[in-house]
Copies of this chain bind each other. A is one copy, B any other.
């Protein structure tokens, strides 16, 4: 993401070479982080939002979740036809994976391998298949800026057959590393979070970072998907490419927006599908 010099965004380079300039995206995924309870401690409103999603990112039992939560989450998602991704994080249950840890690339690769393995193994044992990998919390942010972290995540993910897509921000090191390794990668847009003019996300600790108007959220998301642009918090129009829209299911306005979002996207001619149906490795 960068300030939008040319208001007519280019088509997605990797899969819409011949598409008209005005239609950068014709298909998008709607997803949320799920399965983040632990033992007696519940978190999120998974049952309420599952019917409206096409994909979900589920915790792997390390920074959150546990065997029972994983099984119930997979059953819930499979029951609604939602495609499942593994959401590995730093091995820090107490910190919910939100604290960066000084791990070696080898340690990161091993923990991602472990966490994706458990979700893949359970999803397949329960009759579904794993679609993708999205790093969680501090690992997500580390992979945006740190090539060694990004490469470790790609190396672990590439071990799995059939190939798993990687979900990240479009200008991250992780997106670049995935492309370099020939791995499919999906670009994530946040439904309920403001952007800065440089295309990065505003911290949700700032009140202005959190969007609260369901109607406005939906209009903004449709414009991001259709026109490839979004207004930053200071009004600057920035270029975006969107394969998957992420929302915070425990944020009330987002839960309200969710059922309207799909309707609005389809009304604008956008197909809503799991990202595995349309995200392809670089040619």
Contact = CB atoms under 8 A, between A and B. Distances in A.
A26 interface: no
B67 A111 contact: yes
A115 to B, nearest CB: 8
Given A39-B95, A92-B92, A113 B103 contact: no
Given A121-B120, A160-B125, A113 B71 contact: yes
- Copies of this protein chain in the complex: 4
B96 A99 contact: no
A101 interface: yes
A147 interface: no
B100 A125 contact: no
23 contacts: A38-B94, A39-B93, A39-B95, A39-B96, A41-B42, A61-B114, A66-B114, A67-B107, A68-B106, A71-B110, A71-B113, A71-B114, A91-B94, A92-B101, A95-B101, A95-B103, A99-B101, A117-B119, A117-B121, A117-B122, A121-B160, A124-B161, A125-B161
